[in-house]
């Protein structure tokens, strides 16, 4: 089948399942081992696929038992892997209870080169076009290139606590994000980013776009070592002007990132 590679960004799927423990309990020990083997080889094969990341979670609270986060460039692969993961324990064990489709994306609110050049000239008192100024602009550009590729082609952290929720920007009469001009939106997002940066080292976030793909406009995936930081950042952001005026949220899911082996134990699929 011919690949379906997006012009920009990777396909991201959050896949959450419940487990039919009644069905599992009725299996013979040999059948259980056989199904554990399918699971392990499915996860390994997907992880071995080029530029593909698959994270595995034990979900907290009975909204879901098992969670996967899959990142891969080709929509054909994403779709194939998703079908394989649904059958990772053979038929009748996993029932999908929530899923979210999104894509990694760049932000339209990042500083443009002319703006950076002007800012560097002004704040560092450097003559535009001078050697020192050119050098600083080149440094900025190197930083931005790395940032661009980190956002579009991210390396997911192995941090233990994962929080996922979808969100949109409000489109009400009188409070319509899409009716705001660019400068207003950029200023509001600047305030948001300032709150975000207070959590450097405590929270890693991946914002993926889902307009036209799923129920909301973005998927928010947060990673932390401490669930307290998840609660704190989401609470603090509720006070940001952009969130008070325009934030709309879906359901929240918390998972603990575990290896495939630890996961089988935790899910009592041993």
Q: Which residues bind ligand 76R (CB under 6 A)?
A: 107, 109, 167, 169, 189, 192-193, 196-197, 199-200, 203, 205, 207, 218, 220, 222, 233-234, 237, 243, 247
Q: How far is the CB of 155 from ligand 76R (least distance, A)?
A: 14
Q: Which is nearer to ligand 76R, 176 or 205 (CB)?
A: 205
Q: Which is nearer to ligand 76R, 132 or 179 (CB)?
A: 179
Q: How far is the CB of 111 from ligand 76R (least distance, A)?
A: 9
CB 32 within 8 A of CB 90: no
- Grouping H, G, I as helix, E, B as strand and the rest as coil, residue 128 is coil
- Residue indicated by tokens 């319509």: 176
Q: Which of 17, 100, 165, 253 is catalytic?
A: 165
Q: Which is nearer to ligand 76R, 46 or 233 (CB)?
A: 233
Q: Which is nearer to ligand 76R, 23 or 178 (CB)?
A: 178
Q: Which is nearer to ligand 76R, 77 or 240 (CB)?
A: 240
What's the Rg (C-alpha) of the chain? 22
Q: Which DSSP letter does residue 215 get?
A: S
Q: How far apart are CA 204 and CA 224, in angstroms?
A: 7
Q: In the chain, what are the helix, strand and coil shares in percent, each to the nearest 5?
A: 40, 25, 30
The runs of H, that is alpha helices, within 153-215 are 182-197
Helices 227-238 and 182-197: angle between axes, nearest 10 degrees:
150
- Residue indicated by tokens 């390994």: 44
Is 235 an annotated catalytic residue?
no
Q: How far apart are CA 165 and CA 76, in angstroms?
A: 25
Q: How far is the CB of 196 from ligand 76R (least distance, A)?
A: 2
Q: How far is the CB of 164 from ligand 76R (least distance, A)?
A: 11
Q: How far is the CB of 219 from ligand 76R (least distance, A)?
A: 9
Catalytic residues: 165
């Amino acid at each position: 089948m011919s690949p379906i590679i997006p012009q920009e960004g990777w396909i991201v799927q959050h896949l959450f399942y419940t487990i039919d423990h009644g069905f599992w309990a009725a299996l013979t020990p040999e059948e259980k081992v056989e199904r554990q083997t399918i699971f392990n080889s499915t996860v390994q094969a997907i992880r071995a696929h080029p530029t593909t990341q698959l994270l595995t979670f034990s979900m907290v609270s009975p909204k879901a038992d098992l969670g996967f986060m899959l990142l891969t460039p080709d929509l054909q692969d994403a779709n194939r892997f998703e079908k394989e993961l649904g059958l990772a324990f053979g038929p009748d064990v996993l029932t999908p209870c929530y899923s979210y489709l999104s894509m990694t994306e760049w932000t339209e609110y990042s500083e443009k080169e002319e703006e950076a050049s002007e800012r560097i000239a002004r704040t560092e008192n450097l003559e535009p076009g001078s050697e020192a100024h050119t050098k600083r602009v080149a440094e900025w550009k190197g930083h931005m290139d790395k940032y661009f590729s980190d956002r579009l082609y991210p390396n997911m952290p192995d941090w233990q606590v994962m929080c996922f929720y979808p969100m949109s920007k409000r489109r009400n009469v009188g409070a319509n994000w899409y009716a705001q001009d660019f400068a207003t939106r950029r200023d509001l997002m600047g305030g948001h980013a300032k709150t975000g940066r207070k959590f450097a080292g405590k929270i890693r976030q991946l914002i993926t776009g889902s307009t036209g793909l799923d129920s909301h406009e973005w998927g928010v995936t947060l990673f932390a070592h401490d669930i307290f930081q998840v609660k704190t950042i989401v609470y603090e952001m509720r006070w940001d002007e952009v969130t008070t005026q325009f934030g709309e949220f879906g359901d929240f899911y918390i998972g603990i990132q575990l290896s495939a082996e630890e996961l089988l134990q935790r899910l009592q699929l041993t």
